[in-house]
C-alpha cells in the first residue's frame, strides 16, 4: 500500500519583537543571523532528502510558520521554497501556506510569493481593535491588517486566513463582536479564533501576577466562543476544529493532517516531526541548529517510537478537537488501554465531553479546556 502524503512544516524562528503573550521559540530578527539560518535550512532540506527522512513520499501541504516568516526578505523565502521543490516531492495541488505579520509585507512581495507557489496567506491579525493590540504588546495596527488583506487580494491571493484571539485583557463581549464583524468585512476564506491562554514565563504572565493585567475570565471566554460560532456560522463559515472556521472547501489541509494523526516532517529549530510511528524534534536553539548543520548533521534532538496504544492515544486526543470528533469505540479502546474510564465518565458528567453513541467530541466548555483535557487523557 502506498503511504499517504506528508505535511511539511518549516519554522522560521524570527520576529521583530516578542508579543507579551507569546511563548514560541524565536529570536529577534537580525539580517546576519537570518542569512546564516537560511543557509542552515537549505542544508537541512538537502540532508533530509539525501538521508531519505521523508522516504521519497509526496508532500500534500507546506506550512511556513514561526515566528514571523515574512521578516525574511521575499528573495530568501522564495529560495527556501525553491530548495524544497528541488529536493522534495510536492503533489501538483500542494497547499503552501505562509504566515505573515501584516506590517511585514508589501503588494510587490506578495506578487512574487504567489508566483513562487504560495497558495494561502495567513495573517496574524490577533484583534481588530487597536486598544487590544496595545494591551497584549502586539506591535502594529488594525489599519495594517486591513491593508495587508487588500494587498494580498490585489496580488492575486484567493485563500486568506486571519488569526484572532479572544479573552484578551480589557476585551469585552461587544469589542469581540466588533472584531468578528470587522473580520467579516475583509471576507477571509478561513478564520482561526484562539482563546488567550497565559503561558508561563511570558510578559503577560508576569503582568497578571503583578496585577497589572486581568487574568482571562473563563466564563466570558465561553460566551465569546459561543458568539464566534454563531456569528461565523451565520456568515457561512463551517467550524471544523476547536479554533478553526472555514468557508466550504477552505479547511486548512495542513492543520487537518495534525488533527487526523497524519504524518509530517518539521524543519527549522524547534520543529517537530511525526513519521513512521516515531516522534522527533529539532533542537530549540538557533546557534546549536546552525552548528549542527554546518557539520552536515541533522539537528534532531530526541526520537520516540510510539507503540500502537500510543498511536491510538494521540489519534483520540487530536481527533477530539475536531467538531466531527472520534468514533466512540476508539475512545473506549483508548480508555481501556490507559485505565482512563473514570476520567472519561467524569468528563461526560461535567459536560466537557459529548457522546452521541457513535462519535465523541469536546463540548463548548471542553473546547476551552482542550489542552487540560488532553493532559488528563494522555
- Does position 67 interact with ligand SF4 (CB under 6 A)? The reply is yes
Which of 6, 15, 72, 286: binder of ligand SF4 (CB under 6 A)? 15
The site map against ligand SF4 for 82-121 (x = CB under 6 A) is -------------------x--------------------
From the list 65-73, 111-119, 188-196, 300-308, the region that binds ligand SF4 by CB under 6 A is 65-73
- Would the CA dihedral through 188, 192, 196, 199 be positive or negative? negative
From the list 14-22, 144-152, 175-183, 263-271, the region that binds ligand SF4 by CB under 6 A is 14-22
Side-chain half-sphere CA neighbours of 371 within 13 A: 7
Which of 5, 13, 66, 188: binder of ligand SF4 (CB under 6 A)? 66
# residues contacting ligand SF4 (CB under 6 A): 12
- Does position 270 interact with ligand SF4 (CB under 6 A)? The reply is no
- Does position 24 interact with ligand SF4 (CB under 6 A)? The reply is yes
CB of 271 to ligand SF4, least distance (A): 14
From the list 19-27, 80-88, 267-275, 344-352, the region that binds ligand SF4 by CB under 6 A is 19-27
Which of 7, 69, 124, 167: binder of ligand SF4 (CB under 6 A)? 124
- Does position 320 interact with ligand SF4 (CB under 6 A)? The reply is no
Dihedral angle, C-alpha 203, 205, 208, 212, nearest 10 °:
0
- Does position 6 interact with ligand SF4 (CB under 6 A)? The reply is no
Burial level of 54, CB count in 10 A (0-12/13-18/19+)?
buried
CB of 268 to ligand SF4, least distance (A): 13
CB of 68 to ligand SF4, least distance (A): 5
Q: List the one residue out of 364, 70, 357 whose CA is nearest residue 193.
A: 364
- Does position 205 interact with ligand SF4 (CB under 6 A)? The reply is no
Sequence-ordered alpha helix ranges (H) in the chain:
31-50, 74-87, 107-115, 130-135, 142-155, 173-185, 203-209, 218-234, 253-259, 286-294, 308-319, 328-338, 341-349, 364-368, 370-377
Q: What is the DSSP string of 106-134?
A: -HHHHHHHHHTT--EEEEEEE-S-HHHHH
Cβ neighbours of residue 106 under 8 Å, at least 6 residues apart? 151
* Smaller CB separation from ligand SF4, 15 or 191: 15
* Smaller CB separation from ligand SF4, 19 or 362: 19
> Distance between CA atoms of 148 and 141, rounded to whole angstroms?
11
The length of the chain is 378
> Distance between CA atoms of 87 and 85, rounded to whole angstroms?
6
Place of cell 496580488: 155
From the list 15-23, 48-56, 255-263, 310-318, the region that binds ligand SF4 by CB under 6 A is 15-23
Pairing of strands 6-12, 14-15: unpaired
* Smaller CB separation from ligand SF4, 196 or 228: 196
- Does position 22 interact with ligand SF4 (CB under 6 A)? The reply is yes
- Does position 68 interact with ligand SF4 (CB under 6 A)? The reply is yes
Positions in the binding site for ligand SF4 (CB under 6 A): 15, 18-19, 22, 24, 26, 66-68, 101, 124, 138
Amino acid at each position: 500500500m502506498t503511504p499517504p502524503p506528508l505535511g511539511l512544516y518549516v519554522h522560521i524562528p524570527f520576529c521583530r519583537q516578542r508579543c507579551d503573550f507569546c511563548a514560541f521559540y524565536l529570536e529577534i530578527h537580525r539580517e546576519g543571523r537570518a542569512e546564516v539560518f537560511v543557509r542552515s535550512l537549505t542544508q537541512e532540506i538537502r540532508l533530509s532528502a539525501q538521508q531519505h527522512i521523508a522516504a521519497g513520499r509526496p508532500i500534500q501541504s507546506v506550512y511556513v510558520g514561526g515566528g514571523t516568516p515574512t521578516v525574511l526578505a521575499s528573495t530568501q523565502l522564495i529560495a527556501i521554497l525553491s530548495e524544497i521543490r528541488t529536493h522534495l516531492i510536492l503533489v501538483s495541488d500542494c497547499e503552501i501556506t505562509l504566515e505573515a505579520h501584516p506590517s511585514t509585507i508589501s503588494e510587490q512581495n506578495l506578487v512574487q510569493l504567489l508566483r513562487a507557489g504560495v497558495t494561502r496567506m495567513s495573517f496574524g491579525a490577533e484583534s481588530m481593535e487597536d486598544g487590544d493590540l496595545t494591551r497584549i504588546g502586539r506591535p502594529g495596527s488594525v489599519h495594517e491588517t486591513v491593508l495587508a488583506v487588500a494587498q494580498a487580494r490585489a496580488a492575486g491571493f484567493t485563500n486568506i486566513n486571519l488569526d484572532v484571539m479572544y479573552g484578551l485583557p480589557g476585551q469585552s463581549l461587544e469589542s469581540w463582536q466588533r472584531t468578528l464583524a470587522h473580520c467579516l468585512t475583509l471576507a477571509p476564506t478561513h478564520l482561526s479564533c484562539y482563546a488567550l491562554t497565559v503561558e508561563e514565563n511570558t510578559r503577560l504572565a508576569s503582568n497578571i501576577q503583578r496585577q497589572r493585567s486581568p487574568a482571562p475570565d473563563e466564563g466570558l471566554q465561553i460566551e465569546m466562543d459561543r458568539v464566534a460560532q454563531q456569528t461565523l456560522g451565520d456568515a457561512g463559515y463551517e467550524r471544523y476544529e476547536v479554533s478553526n472556521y472555514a468557508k466550504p472547501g477552505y479547511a486548512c489541509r495542513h492543520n487537518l493532517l495534525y488533527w487526523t494523526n497524519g504524518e509530517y516532517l518539521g524543519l527549522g529549530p524547534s520543529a517537530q516531526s511525526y513519521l513512521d510511528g516515531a516522534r522527533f524534534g529539532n533542537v530549540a536553539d538557533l546557534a546549536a541548529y546552525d552548528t549542527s548543520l554546518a557539520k552536515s548533521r541533522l539537528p534532531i534532538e530526541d526520537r520516540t517510537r510510539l507503540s500502537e496504544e500510543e498511536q491510538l492515544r494521540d489519534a483520540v486526543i487530536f481527533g477530539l478537537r475536531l467538531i466531527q470528533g472520534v468514533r466512540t469505540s476508539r475512545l473506549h479502546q483508548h480508555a481501556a488501554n490507559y485505565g482512563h474510564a473514570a476520567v472519561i465518565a467524569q468528563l461526560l458528567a461535567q459536560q466537557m465531553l459529548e457522546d452521541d453513541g457513535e462519535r465523541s467530541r469536546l463540548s463548548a466548555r471542553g473546547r476551552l479546556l482542550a489542552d487540560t483535557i488532553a493532559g488528563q487523557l494522555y
